[in-house]
Amino acid sequence: MRQFLRRLVSGLLLTAVATPALAQSLYHVARVVDGDTVVLRGLGTVRLIGIDTPETVDPRKPVQRFGQEASAALRSMIGGRDVLVEYDQDRTDRYNRTLVYLYLPDGTFVNLEMVRQGFAHAYVKYPFREMARFRAAEREAREAERGLWGNGEGNGALSAAAIQTRPSTARVWVNTSSGVYHCEGTRYYGQTKRGAFMSESAARAEGRRPAGGRPCG
C-alpha cells in the first residue's frame, strides 16, 4: 500500500511539471505598446515571451526599420480583444514586466504567429519551453522572405538569402546582452556595457542579428 501511494504521488508530481498551468480567465488588451509589449487590463504591462521586434517607443533610440509594421501587426491581431494568458518558468523580466504567452480564444498562439509571419525575431537569449518551435518559425519566415526577411520592396528589409549567405569580414561590435551587433561608425559601436569585437560572419554564425536589420559588409 505504501509503495502504491508513493507511485501515485510521484505520478501526480510528474504530471504537474509536464503540464503548464493555463490561466482560465481572459484578459482584455487595453493597449498595444509595440510589437512585443502590451498592456492587459487587470495585469498591467506584459512582455511576450520568445520574441523581439524593432523598437518604436524607446526614447533613447530612433524608430527602427519595420518597427511600425510589427506594432501594427500585433495591434491588428489582438488590439481591443480578450486574450488567454499562459506563463513559463520566469514570470518577470529585469524591467519587472510580466512575461507571457498570449492566445486568442480561437487557439491562435500570438507570440508564435508574430515570428511565423516575419514581424518578430525569435528571442533565444533566455531559455523557454517553446524555443524549438520559435526557431523553426523564424527559419520558415526567412525562407519565405516574409516581413523582416523580405526583399526590401516597400519596407527596406534585406532578403534572408543576402543576410545568411553573403560573407563579410567587417569588424562588428556584438552587444552580448541583447545579441545585436553594430557596424563600425554607428552610435553604439564599442559602446554597450557588455560586448565583444568579431567579424560579421562570425557574429552571424553565432546567431547574432544586425542592429536595424542591415548588415555591415
98 Cβ contact list (under 8 Å, min separation 6):
43, 44, 45, 46, 47, 91, 92
- For the question of residue 69 being annotated catalytic, the response is no
H or E segment and range at residue 90:
none
- For the question of residue 81 being annotated catalytic, the response is no
Find the DSSP H helices in the chain.
2-18, 67-78, 110-116, 131-144, 160-165, 200-205
Cell of 62: 530612433
- For the question of residue 97 being annotated catalytic, the response is yes
How far apart are alpha carbons 201 and 169 in whole angstroms?
6
Q: Looking at 81, 97, 133, 139, which residue is catalytic? A: 97
- Chain centroid offset of residue 168 CA: 26
Q: Which of 72, 164, 162 is nearest to 117 (CA)?
A: 72
- Chain centroid offset of residue 86 CA: 16
Q: Which of 76, 148, 143 is nearest to 118 (CA)?
A: 148
Please, what is the Cα angle at 11 between 6 and 14, to 5 degrees?
Answer: 125
202 Cβ contact list (under 8 Å, min separation 6):
none
Query: Annotated catalytic sites, by residue?
Result: 47, 55, 97
